[in-house]
Structure 1
Amino acid sequence: MSGSSRVFSIPPGAPFLPTLAEALLAGRLVPGFRFDGDPLALADVTIYVPTRRAARALRGVFVDSLAARGGGGSAILPVIRPLGEFDEDEAAFETEASAAIDLAPPISATERLLLLTPLVRAWKRRLPAHVAALFAEEIVIPASTADAIWLARDLARLMDEIETEGTDWAKLTDLVTGNLAGWWQVTLEFLGIVTEAWPKFLAESDRSNPAAHRSALIRAEAARLLRNPPAGPVIAAGSTGSIPATAELLAAIARLPGGAIVLPGLDRTLDEASFQAIAAPGARPAVLGHPQYGLARLIGKIGVLRGDVEEIGVAEPRRALRAALVGEALRPAETTELWAETRAGFPASDIAGAFAEVTLLEAASERDEAVAIAVALRRALEQPGQRAALVTGDRALARR
């Protein structure tokens, strides 16, 4: 563990960006730095946030925070850079010239899709007879160019996932054995497009896949920061480090003399045994989907313990209790026997108050779910001054 790493967390229920801005201005994040009214004080500060939208919002928050502090003058805002949305803007990172030269330019998503589609069509035509014989009827996929485009899109998504995680394509051949091996051979023949044909095309055209290019840029930025530490504070905020390259960048920032990491909602109320069950190497596959898994892995990558993470910001008591109860409900299977014990520590009236503004709707279908959400949003729009938002990880539901 590195005792010098400055890692913070803003609890669920506390406004993340305003809390971040206020902590920086008040001097809580980086020793020796505090905004004292000097209009140039923030010019040397660099802040990394997950998306361009977050970057725009944070700029607005700084404007409001500085205005609230008075003074009536103007000030130069910090340099705010997005971590996850710079595919079309290489200049977002000031990479060293040598590193930039080594990076083949990324192929655009549209061009990649158009080039993968004929490869998918060709795959069907050259299927070996012994593979085609596995099917009881004539192979009909891809039956049309439209089908080939959909398969090409899936291939592109798979390439991005594999390259983002840094996984070895060669391991695919050992995934399935036994009775399924024949059917798996069909899949391997199909994946030959991205394991053999596509890499040859990229090498011949001196291009790179977007995900590989992004990861290379992030790692180049991490190396640059360690090689030439900036004079001013460098802060990474809001990222869970789910992309390995991003986790490496966050670990590099944590080691800088003026570096600080601000995590979104690290659970500090969950007991240590439960948290270790989530963070343990080689954890059960079910644990990989736990909301705290990414953060647990990230602080391990940075080299700090959960107890070393300082919490900044305060959530409203009812929201803090709600977060604690949700954490209890999602505790890993290894410690669910503690439910009876922890349940006794929450009075029924407190639980009811924590979820007074929460409604559970069990929809019979995705369509019913979408209709219910649309009605709720419409009712909110009909109320003067009412604000509403839909937050979902389901893109299909959002489109409905």
Structure 2
Amino acid sequence: MRDAPKVFSIPAGAPFLDVLADAFLTGRLAPLPEPRDDPLALANATILLPTRRAVRALRERLVERLGADAAILPDIRPIGDASEEDHLLDPSAETVADRLALPPAIGRLPRQLALTQLTLAWGRAIRGDSSLLDIHEGEQLLIPASAADAARLAGDLARLMDDVETATDAGAGRDPWTEIQKLAPEDHAGYFQITLDFLKIAFEAWPKYLSDNGVVDPAVRRDHLIRAEAARLERMAARGPVIAAGSTGSIPATAELLKTIAHLPNGAVVLPALDRDLDADGFAAIGGVDTPARAFGHPQFGLKQLIAALGITREDVVPLGAVPEALALRARLATEALRPAETTDAWAMFRAAGPDIRAVDDALADAGLIVAHNEQEEAVAIAIAIREAVEQPDARVALVTPDRTLARRVAAELGRWGLAIDDSAGARLDLLPEGIFARLVGEALVADTDPAALLAVLKHPSAVFGMGRAECRKAARILELAVFRGRRGDCGLAGLAEALAAAREEAGGGAAR
């Protein structure tokens, strides 16, 4: 018989990794071998976190708390990144046959190029179909007119395919693509028929391409590996504690893994910020597994689905960590503000029995609202707030935003004051000097007769072409003065040598010097 699930939750406002590290080291999540100060006591434990950044941060927290000269830390791995398959499975429990049970995942670039080719072929077929020659101008927008259009559509299609694969429950027995084909009956507008025909690339042409090339989509392999890990943990008794923390189980395969870990004799699941302040009626109104369309946008929707899948109720979740009174009140205000519309009548009771206005003011004392007229003003305001905050001793500041453009604007503004930031999303390659140089080289090759494109490459700091940097700069200036200055040469890259020789002859050899 499986053990009762052991599920914990760290409330919003509490330092998640700090609380997790303390609960783990004190044995509250799962029993640890004695003595606790043995450097080898934690070696057999496994902790699964959503991201690689969380893995690095938890290692730092554990090292700080152990304070030993040397210790073997638990096996801490990410489960939210499909590229981390080598760290997901336990190498000691996996055979070569297990690794080869599923073909390798197709790379991101080959996938994009292959989908672009399929999209181009589909566009040519659609334009040659006489039954669709009378399509309206708006319906033609979906049909790629160039390779660039095909690449854009292929990128959108790839994201849709990943979303469908991620949200599909393998045990449900329903094919999402079959359901999609029912969305556009034949009596609907031609645009819907063209859209449905375009989606055939995903559920007809793409599976054939994958089969012919012996590869699978990254999301498919990720889900396969996660389910294989869940099956392994259920089949084999783990050598030490197994703890999964921070995941909401939004991927069905991950939810299966969390359910398996929660029922292990030495397993535990730690949820992030499960709302325990919302009353029962409000929590019930969020919706559940059987009504996924209801209140889908509520931030607690995913957690409610997960605890239902784990076979427990909200009352069965054990709270961990303490929150300062001001932060607890702020979280309660957020709970009431996000209450489902069906239960907003409870606002009157909260106001009547809730905290006085002074407590609310204290809870929101350091919270602010900025109304910006444009993106630049928004970035400047955020940068100023960050600069003021870091002036405090031992200050730690984080900007959390899904808007990458805003993040880059803020980083640029902070750079004016010499403040460097650690961007967890990394830097775009096309904005780095190396990426800019590669892009300029590509543009010069495409724009064969454009002097500006060629000179942009030659004058880039990374361009040396086997020469010294100063020598290369001198050669670029000679080429500009002799061949391009005052004229727009149409000789192309292949004719540069002849054009330079003609310029040398015209100048009487002066250009060569």
**Which structure 2 residues correspond to residues 63-212 of structure 1 after superposition, within 5 A?**
63-67=63-67, 72-87=68-83, 89-94=85-90, 96-97=94-95, 98-127=97-126, 128-136=129-137, 139=140, 141-166=143-168, 168-177=176-185, 180-212=188-220
Residue type of the alignment partner of 1:289? G
Counterpart position of 1:7? 7
Question: How far apart are the structure 2 equivalents of 1:174 and 1:34?
Answer: 60
Q: Residue by residue, what CA displacement relative to the aligned partner does 1:255-305 show, whole Å, maximum 9, x if unpaired?
A: 111000011100111101111121434437361111111111111111111
Whether contact under 8 Å (2:10, 2:16) holds in the other structure is yes
Q: Displacement of 1:381 after TM fit?
A: 5.1
Residue type of the alignment partner of 1:96? E
Q: Displacement of 1:89 after TM fit?
A: 4.1
Residue type of the alignment partner of 2:147? T
Computing the radius of gyration over CA atoms, which structure comes out larger, 1 or 2? Answer: 2
Q: Displacement of 1:34 after TM fit?
A: 6.5
Whether contact under 8 Å (2:49, 2:76) holds in the other structure is yes
Q: Residue by residue, what CA displacement relative to the aligned partner does 1:117-152 show, whole Å, maximum 9, x if unpaired?
A: 121111211113333422147936423222221111
Whether contact under 8 Å (1:3, 1:304) holds in the other structure is no
- In structure 2, stretches of 5+ residues that fail to align are 169-174, 410-513
Q: Which moved more, 1:141-150 or 1:19-28?
A: 141-150
**Residues 326 and 257 (structure 1 numbering): CA distance in 2 closer, same or farther, change over 3 Å?**
same
Whether contact under 8 Å (2:242, 2:261) holds in the other structure is yes
Give the TM-score normalised by the residue count of structure 2: 0.73
Whether contact under 8 Å (2:289, 2:308) holds in the other structure is no
Aligned residues: 395
Counterpart position of 1:350? 359
Match of 1:222 among 222, 230, 233: 230
Q: In structure 1, the residue corresponding to 2:322 is in which secondary structure?
A: coil
Whether contact under 8 Å (1:7, 1:310) holds in the other structure is yes
Q: In structure 2, the residue corresponding to 1:236 is in which secondary structure?
A: strand
Residue type of the alignment partner of 1:83? I
Counterpart position of 1:398? 407
Q: Residue by residue, what CA displacement relative to the aligned partner does 1:334-375 show, whole Å, maximum 9, x if unpaired?
A: 211111111221211111111111111233444543343234
Question: How far apart are the structure 2 equivalents of 1:177 and 1:352?
Answer: 56
**Residues 159 and 180 (structure 1 numbering): CA distance in 2 closer, same or farther, change over 3 Å?**
same
Counterpart position of 2:324? 316
Match of 1:369 among 366, 378, 390: 378
Q: Displacement of 1:31 after TM fit?
A: 4.2
**Residues 316 and 109 (structure 1 numbering): CA distance in 2 closer, same or farther, change over 3 Å?**
same
Q: Which moved more, 1:130-139 or 1:218-227?
A: 130-139
Residue type of the alignment partner of 1:349? R
Question: How far apart are the structure 2 equivalents of 1:189 and 1:368?
Answer: 44
Q: Which moved more, 1:326-335 or 1:176-185?
A: 176-185
Counterpart position of 1:389? 398
**Residues 131 and 384 (structure 1 numbering): CA distance in 2 closer, same or farther, change over 3 Å?**
farther
- In structure 1, stretches of 5+ residues that fail to align are none
Whether contact under 8 Å (1:176, 1:184) holds in the other structure is yes
Whether contact under 8 Å (2:277, 2:332) holds in the other structure is yes
Q: Displacement of 1:39 after TM fit?
A: 1.2
Counterpart position of 2:418? none
- Which structure ranks higher in relative contact order (CA pairs < 8 Å, sequence separation ≥ 6)? 1
Whether contact under 8 Å (2:287, 2:294) holds in the other structure is no
Question: How far apart are the structure 1 equivalents of 2:79 and 2:359?
Answer: 39
Question: How far apart are the structure 1 equivalents of 2:138 and 2:345?
Answer: 52
Counterpart position of 1:249? 257
Q: In structure 2, the residue corresponding to 1:139 is in which secondary structure?
A: helix
Question: How far apart are the structure 1 equivalents of 2:391 and 2:153?
Answer: 43
**Residues 351 and 236 (structure 1 numbering): CA distance in 2 closer, same or farther, change over 3 Å?**
same
Task: Calculate the aligned-residue CA RMSD, in Å.
Answer: 2.2
Q: Residue by residue, what CA displacement relative to the aligned partner does 1:147-167 show, whole Å, maximum 9, x if unpaired?
A: 221111111111111111126
Q: Displacement of 1:177 after TM fit?
A: 4.2
Q: Displacement of 1:182 after TM fit?
A: 2.5
Whether contact under 8 Å (1:14, 1:315) holds in the other structure is yes
2:298 is aligned with 1:302: no
